[in-house]
Amino acid sequence: MAEVTAQLVKQLRDRTGAGMMECRSALVEANGDVGDAEVVLRKRGMASAAKKSARSTQQGLIGTYIHHGSQLGVLIEVNCESDFVARTDDFQELVKDVAMQVAAADPKWVRPEDVPEDVLNKEKEIARERARNEGKPEKILDRIVEGRVTKFFEEVCLVKQPFIRENTVTVEDLVKQKIAKLGENITIARFVRFKVGETQSAGS
């Protein structure tokens, strides 16, 4: 068993923002490996975030992002439970990051359940026909369609997109990390993306 030193605890705390006792516990579980301990903390945070997901979010911020050259801009509303959390640097950083995500990745909706039924049905129909044209057996078509719809959600739904700054996590994971750190439920309510010369694109 590797020794869990104060220096290791400080290193993990600096990387994650987690409490000292949480960091020590994670390092013990990870046998002193800082990278593994960070994964332990992330998993614990996701579990904690899931418990908070039903709580009401009536506070928050409207964030903006204007791309260099002022040809592209985003307005986004991100909600939390208290005005105190809304004023924290962590929450404001999240709002800014998500606004930049909308600018860069051009999602059409916030989450899969926001995708209109007719759009989703059309996508399933296209995926099924494509699979048939590729000669796939009928008995596995449903599974193929499900996989392609999941991929479609990753492209068009903000929370399912890989985060532009760290593509090993999704925007949904990023939000859950902030929930775990700040101790409040956080939700992305809506966004509007403007590009000069294009029709308005909005997520709700």
Q: How far apart are CA 124 and CA 121, in angstroms?
A: 5
5 vs 18, more confident: 5
12-59 pLDDT, tens digit each: 877 766 667 778 888 888 888 888 888 887 777 654 555 555 566 678
Q: Return the structure tokens found at 86.
A: 């809304």
Each domain of the chain, given as residue ranges in start order, spans: 6-52, 59-111+157-203, 116-154
Please give the class, per CATH, of domain 116-154.
Answer: mainly alpha
Query: Which pLDDT score, from 0 to 100, does residue 77 have?
Result: 96
Q: Measuring CA to CA, which residue among 42, 37, 14, 35 is closest to residue 24? A: 37
Average pLDDT estimate for 167-183: 89
Mean pLDDT of the chain: 86
Indicate whether this model's pTM tops 0.75: no
Query: Which pLDDT score, from 0 to 100, does residue 121 have?
Result: 92
Taking the domain 59-111+157-203, which CATH number applies? 3.30.479.20
Please give the class, per CATH, of domain 6-52.
Answer: mainly alpha
Query: Which pLDDT score, from 0 to 100, does residue 147 have?
Result: 92
Q: How far apart are CA 54 and CA 120, in angstroms?
A: 26
Contact of 41 with 26, CB cutoff 8 Å? yes
Average pLDDT estimate for 132-139: 84
Query: Which pLDDT score, from 0 to 100, does residue 6 have?
Result: 85
CB atoms near residue 118 (< 10 Å)? 8
Average pLDDT estimate for 59-84: 93
160-173 pLDDT, tens digit each: 999 999 888 999 99
